[in-house]
Structure 1
Amino acid sequence: MRASILTIGDELLIGQVIDTNSAWLADRLSELGFEIIKILSISDSSRAIAEAVNELMGQSDIVISTGGLGPTSDDRTKPTLCELFGGQLMLHKPSLSLIEQLFHKRGLPLTETNKNQALIPSSCTPVLNYHGTAPGMIFRKGNCYLVSLPGVPFEMKNMFTGGVRPFIEQNFTLPAIVRLTVNTFGIPESFLSDKLRGFEKYLADRGITLAYLPSPSGIRLRLSATGDEKSRLSSLLDLAVNELKGLIGENIFGFNDETLPSAVSKRLREKNTTLAVAESCTGGYISHLITQLPGSSDIYRGGIVAYSNEIKRNVLGVSNELLMSHGAVSRPVVEAMLDGTLRVFRCEYAIAVSGIAGPTGATTGKPVGTTWIGVASSETQQVELFTFGNLRDINIQRAAYTALFQLLKFMNHI
C-alpha cells in the first residue's frame, strides 16, 4: 500500500513555519504498513492544490493533506476540494456544535466567519475536530482516499489518532508490522555501524530491517518486521534485541519512547534518591531536560547556572586558587562544583558541567568544545573530559545528554 503526504501553505515554502506534520504523519503511516512514496509542500493556490491532489491520488492508495482549512481568505483548500470531488458546501451541525462550545469556553463571540468553518463539501466524510474550528474531510476517488486535515499540529495529531486511524483500519487490509526502537548513547554512528555489521546480516536473514536515527540525544536503532502474525514478529525482535545487548549493552539506555531524561528519572525513583545540577556552559539545559518531565519534583532538588566565576566561588564554594591556577574549564573546578552541589542541595546525586560552548572562549590547549563533565554521590565522584565540535547549540545539547548518560552509568555501577 502506498501513501503520500501533502502540506499546504505559503508559510511552509518561505521557511516561516517548519513542517513537522509530514514527519509525524510519515511515522504513523509507516507504522500501519504503508510505503511513503512522496511528501509534497505547495502554495495556498487553487491551481496548485488541484494539481497536487490529482497527481498524488493517481499514485497512491491514500493521501493525507494538512493545512489551508482556516477561516481566512487565503485558505482555499475546502472550496477547491469541493470543486474537485463535487457536491456543495453544507452545514455540518456536529462541527458547528463543537465550534460553539469552543468559543463559549473561551468567552469569545462567535462570528459568521467562525460559523462558516462548519461548512464542508457534501461529497466528504467529516472528521470531527475537538480542539479547533476546522473539521477534517475524507474523499474517495476510485480506489484512493484523500484525507484533508488542519495544519495546526496538535489539532491534526488528535484528529488523525481519534478519527483517521480508525477509518484506515476499517477500510484497508493492513499487514502485521512490529517495530521496536533501541535507544543508544556514547558511540558515534560510524563506529556503531562497524560494530553491528554482523548483526545487520543476522537481521537481514530473518527479514528484519534496521534504521539508524542519529541526533545529539543519541542514536536510535529502529528494528522493523512485517508479516502475517504479530506474535511471531515480536518474538523475532525480542531475540534480535538480546543479540544487540550482547554487542552494545553498555550503550543501550532504553527502548521506544524512553529518553535519557526519563531513564535517569526512572533510575532515581527506583533508588529513592534525588539529583541536583550545577551548570556552566549548558546554561540550565540539563535542568530543563529533567524538569520537562511530569512529576520531576519527586527526584529533582534544584540547580544553579554557575556561569560566572563569582557564582562558582560564592554559591558553590569553589576556591579562587583553583579558578586562577586551573581555569573554570578544568577537572579540579568541576570536582569542587560537585562538592558544592551536594552540600548546597543536600541531594544524593549531583551533576556538574563546565566547558567552552563556543564560538569564542577558546584558549591554548582548550579549543571550542572542551567540556569537563562530572557526576557524584556523597561517597564518590567521576569526572571526565569530552571534546565536542565547533557549533555552540550542538555542544550544549551534547554536553547535557552526555552528563545524563554519565549519571545513568554511574548510578548503575554503585
Structure 2
Amino acid sequence: MGRLVPQLLGSIPRRGRGADARRCHPPHDLLPDRVPLSLSRPPEGRRVKLEVLTIGTELLLGHTVDTNAAELGRALAAAGAEIVRRTTVPDRPDVIRAAVAEALDRTGFVITTGGLGPTRDDMTKTVVAELLDKRLVLDERLLAAVVERFQRMGRPMPAINRTQAQVPEGAVVLPNPRGTAPGLWVEDGRGRVVVLLPGVPREMRGLLVEHVLPRLVERQGPDARRVVQSRTVRTTGVSESALAERVGDIEAEIAPLTLAYLPSVEGVDLRVTAWALEPAEAEQRIAAAVERLRIAADGHAYGTDNADLAAVVLETLRRGRHRLGVAESCTGGMIAERITAIPGASDTFIGGVVAYADVIKTAALKVPLETLEAHGAVSEETVRAMADGTQRLFSVDCTIAVTGIAGPGGGTPEKPVGTVWLAARVHTTTRAVKRVFPGDRDEIRRRAAQAGLDLLRRLVVEP
C-alpha cells in the first residue's frame, strides 16, 4: 500500500477549484491530464461500489464549478472503486438526508464533500449523525487542535468553531492539518460507510490521499489488485464525428480496452485504457492500440499524452534546422505566445508581427495595396502575401500567417464570422487553407492559432 498512495496522489489534477471555491473555471479545466501508469485495482466482484455526494447550493446555482467531483472520480476509480452515481444537492438538511439515505440503500458506501464548516449552512455532519442514529460528541483532542490552529494564527478561537470538534459517536476522525474541519469515516451497525470530507479543494485532496484511499484499498483486500494503464492520442483539425468514422472499427477490435473521445477547442483527444494482471501486459496491449489509433487518425495525430502542438512544431523545426517567423492578424499574437512559452524557443523562433491593421500589412509585410483592395484582408491572396512578406522580413525559411474575422461583428454573407485564411511557407512552397470556425471570439482565435501551427507541422512533415 505504501507504493500505491503516491501513485494515487499523482492521479489527482492540481489545478481547478472545488465546492467551496468562489469563481468558475471553464469546462476544459475539468478534463484530467493523465491517469498514472500503474495503479492497484481489485478484480470484478471485489470492487467497492460507492456514490459521491457533493453538497453546496452554489454548485446548483452555477456560481462554482465542482472540480472536487472530478478529482474524486479519477482517484477513486484508479483505486479500484466502482462509482455508480454522483449527486449534487443544496445546503438543505432534508435534501441531504434523503440523498445520503438513498445512496446507502443502493451501495452502502457514500463519500460527501462540503458542509463541514462552522456556519449555519454547514449541516452535513449533523444530518449524517441523525440518519445513522448516532449522537454528536465532543472530541477533546480535536477541540485542542482547533484551538491551537487559531493560536498559531494569533487569534482566539471563535465560539462557533467549537462545533467542528463535535463528531458522530464512534466515528474515525481524519486529521486535517490544512484546515479546521476534519474528515470523518462513519460506519453504522450494518457495515455501511459514510465518509465526510471538506469542500475546500486542497483540504479534500489531502484527506483523500492520506486517509480515504489507503482505507479503501485495505477494505478491498491486498489480493484484489490489478494494474491499469491509460494513454492519450492527441489529434487536431478533425471533428469528433469524423474521427469516430476513422477509428470506429479499431474501437470494436481493441475491446475490452476502452476508448474515450475528449473534444476541446484545440482538437479531440483519444484516451484508451487497458486493465491487466501485470504492468507489462497492460503496457503491451495499450501500446498496440495507441499505434493503431495514431495511424488511423491519418496525419491528424500530432502526439501522445501531454504533448503540446507548439512544442511538437518547435522540435520538428529544430531537427530540420529551420527558423520560424509568424504574421498574425485575428489571432493577435497567440501563435507567438504559445511558441515563446517553450524554453529554448529562441534557437528556432526569430520573431513575429501582429499585422492587425491593413497599414501594417502593407508597411511591415509588403502586402501589395492592390491585393488588399481587390481581395480584402481576409483572403487567400492576402494571407499568401503575408507569409511571403514574413519570410523576407525575418530572413527565415518557415513562416505562418493568419488573417480572419473573429467576431462578434464584421462578418458578411460571403465571409461570415469565423472565416479564417491560414498559410504556411517552407522555403519556396506555400500552402494556404480556408477555415470557418465555430464558437465565440476567443474560441475562434484559439482554433485559428492551433490550425496555423498544425498547417506548418503538416507542411514540414508531409511536403
| Aligned AA (2:254) | L
Aligned equivalents of 1:55, 1:223: Cα separation in 2: 33
Give the TM-score taking structure 1 as reference length: 0.81
Counterpart residue number, 1:40: 87
Alignment of 1:150-229 (within 5 A): 150-172=198-220, 173-204=224-255, 207-229=256-278
Q: Tell me the residue number matched to 2:197.
A: 149
Stretch of structure 1 that moved more, 348-357 or 272-281: 272-281
Structure 1 residues 320 and 43, CA, compared in 2 at 3 Å: closer, same or farther? same
Alignment of 1:277-292 (within 5 A): 277-287=326-336, 289=338
Q: CA deviation at 1:126?
A: 0.8
Per the alignment, residue 382 of structure 1 pairs with 431
Per-residue displacement from partner, 1:30-79 (whole Å, max 9, x unpaired)?
A: 33333332111111122222222222233236433222234443222244
Alpha-carbon contact 2:325-2:398 (below 8 Å) kept: yes
Alignment of 1:396 onto 2:445 = yes
**Could you tell me which residue of structure 2 aligns to residue 92 of structure 1?**
142
Residues 390, 77 of structure 1: CA spacing in aligned structure 2 closer, same or farther, 3 A cutoff?
Answer: closer
Mapping 1:264-303, distance limit 5 Å: 264=313, 267=316, 277-287=326-336, 289=338
Aligned amino acid, residue 67 of structure 1 = G
CA distance in 1, matches of 2:281, 2:60: 44
Residues in 2 aligned to 1:287 and 1:65: alpha-carbon distance in whole angstroms: 44
- Does the alignment pair 1:124 with 2:172? yes
**Structure 1 CA distance for aligned equivalents of residues 128 and 344 of structure 2:** 46
Q: How many residues align?
A: 407
1:314 & 1:117 partners in 2: Cα distance?
A: 70
Select the residue among 337, 349, 362 that pairs with 2:386.
Answer: 337
SS in 1 for 2:63: coil
Structure 2, gaps ≥5 residues long: 1-46
Residue matched to 1:253: 302
Query: 1:213-269: per-residue Cα shift (whole Å, max 9, x none)?
Result: 222222222222234333222211112223323322522222223343454455566
Give 3-state SS (helix, strand or coil) of 1:88's partner. Answer: strand
Q: Deviations over 1:149-173 (max 9, x none)?
A: 3333454345434543334333334
Are residues 94 and 410 of structure 1, via their aligned partners in 2, closer, same or farther at CA, if it must alter by over 3 Å?
Answer: farther
Q: Describe the shift of the 1:385–1:3 C-alpha distance in structure 2 as closer, same or farther (beyond 3 A).
A: same
Aligned residues of 1:374 and 1:403 also touching (Cα < 8 A): yes
Q: Distance in 1 between matches of 2:322 and 2:176?
A: 45
1:3 aligns with 2:68: no
In structure 2, the CA distance between the partners of 1:111 and 1:364, relative to structure 1 (3 Å rule), is same
Q: Does the aligned pair in 2 maintain the 1:32–1:174 contact within 8 Å?
A: no
Contact 1:4–1:63 (8 Å) recurs in 2 = yes
CA RMSD of aligned residues (A): 3.7
Return the alpha-carbon distance in structure 1 between the equivalents of residues 241 and 415 of structure 2.
26
**1:308-365 CA-partner distances (Å, limit 9, x unpaired):** 3344345555443332222111223323434555566777754332112234322353
The CA distance in 2 between the partners of 1:178 and 1:319, in whole Å, is 55
Greater mean deviation of Cα atoms: 213-222 or 74-83: 74-83
Judged with a 3 Å threshold, the aligned counterparts in structure 2 of structure 1 residues 24 and 291 are, in CA distance, closer, same or farther, namely farther
Taking only the aligned residue pairs, the percentage that are identical comes to 36
Aligned to 2:34: none
1:212, distance to aligned residue in structure 2 (A): 1.9
C-alpha distance in 1 between matches for 2:315 and 2:144 = 43
Q: Residues 405 and 50 (structure 1 numbering): CA distance in 2 closer, same or farther, change over 3 Å?
A: same
Q: TM-score, normalised by structure 2?
A: 0.73
2:327–2:401 contact (8 Å) kept in structure 1: yes
Q: In structure 2, how many angstroms separate the alpha carbons of the residues matched to 1:113 and 1:258?
A: 51
The 3 A distance-change label for structure 1 pair 95 and 288 is: farther
Distance 2:120 2:317 in 1: 53
Distance 2:288 2:79 in 1: 23
By how many angstroms is 1:133 displaced? 4.8
After superposing the two structures, state which structure 1 stretch, 209-218 or 378-387, moved more: 378-387
Evaluate the alpha carbon distance shift between residue 63 and residue 403 of structure 1 in structure 2; reply closer, same or farther with a 3 A threshold.
farther
